[in-house]
């Protein structure tokens, strides 16, 4: 029983971190960074974005994995509780599917786009050259994908709360 409780708390903790990090970026950092001067935004991107991306990757990997392990440990081998014919199973299945979609958003769009922005910005800051023309398009892609990720995480949270009710 204590093991299941620890797993559940780890899952909730990592989920809250993931949700908070995406919310912070989608609602505060992403929209604000364009208001800075090119030099300031370049410095912020080079110093902050790599750490932020690592944080997001760790939470994106650990939250669903901990959720799955928690569910398997708490089922005591009775996998019928996960049947989509029950409300618990339906909400958990929907949350799991949306988590996989969130993985795709993070690992196919957010992370590669963020790394590309960091690489381009490092060159821009190092050479003190004019802002590359493709950078605003990449920044917009990162903002949009963060918004999509936030919407997915909100629906996942609703599914998890509904399943627990």
Q: Which tens digit of pLDDT belongs to each residue from 110-140?
A: 999 999 999 988 888 888 777 778 888 888 8
132 is a domain residue: yes
Indicate the number of domains in the chain.
Answer: 1
Q: Scanning the structure block, which residue is given the tokens 């990162």?
A: 142
26 is a domain residue: yes
| Predicted confidence (pLDDT) at residue 92 exceeds the cutoff of 70 | yes
Q: Under a CB-based contact definition with an 8 Å cutoff, are residues 67 and 19 in contact?
A: no
Q: For residue 14, what pLDDT is reported?
A: 95
9 is a domain residue: yes
Alpha helices (runs of H) in the chain, residue ranges in sequence order = 2-24, 30-33, 38-75, 87-104, 111-127, 135-164
80 is a domain residue: no
Mean pLDDT value across the chain: 89
Q: For residue 15, what pLDDT is reported?
A: 93
DSSP secondary structure, 27-48, as one string: IIIHHHHTTS-HHHHHHHHHHH
Q: For residue 53, what pLDDT is reported?
A: 93
144 is a domain residue: yes
81 is a domain residue: no
Q: For residue 127, what pLDDT is reported?
A: 83
Q: What does the alpha-carbon distance between residue 110 and residue 150 come to, in Å, rounded to a whole number? A: 12
Which pTM value belongs to this model?
0.86
113 is a domain residue: yes
| Predicted confidence (pLDDT) at residue 1 exceeds the cutoff of 70 | no
111 is a domain residue: yes
Q: What is the CATH number of the domain that holds 119?
A: 1.20.120
Roughly how many angstroms between the first and final C-alpha of the chain, as a whole number?
20
Q: Which domain holds residue 104?
A: 2-75+86-164
What is the average per-residue pLDDT within 131-154?
Answer: 89
């Amino acid at each position: 029983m204590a093991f299941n409780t620890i797993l559940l708390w780890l899952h909730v903790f990592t989920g809250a971190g993931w949700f908070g990090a995406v919310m912070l970026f989608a609602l505060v950092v992403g929209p604000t960074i364009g208001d800075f001067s090119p030099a300031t935004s370049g410095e912020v991107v080079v110093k902050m974005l790599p750490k932020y991306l690592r944080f997001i990757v760790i939470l994106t990997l650990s939250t669903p994995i901990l959720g799955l392990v928690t569910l398997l440990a708490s089922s005591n081998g009775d996998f019928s509780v996960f049947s989509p014919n029950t409300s618990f199973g339906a909400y958990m299945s929907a949350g799991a599917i949306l988590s996989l979609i969130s993985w795709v958003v993070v690992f196919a769009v957010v992370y590669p786009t963020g790394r590309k922005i960091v690489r381009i910005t490092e060159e821009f800051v190092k050479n003190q050259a004019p802002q590359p023309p493709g950078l605003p398009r990449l920044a917009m892609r990162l903002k949009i994908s963060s918004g999509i990720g936030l919407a997915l995480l909100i629906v996942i949270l609703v599914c998890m709360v509904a399943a627990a009710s």
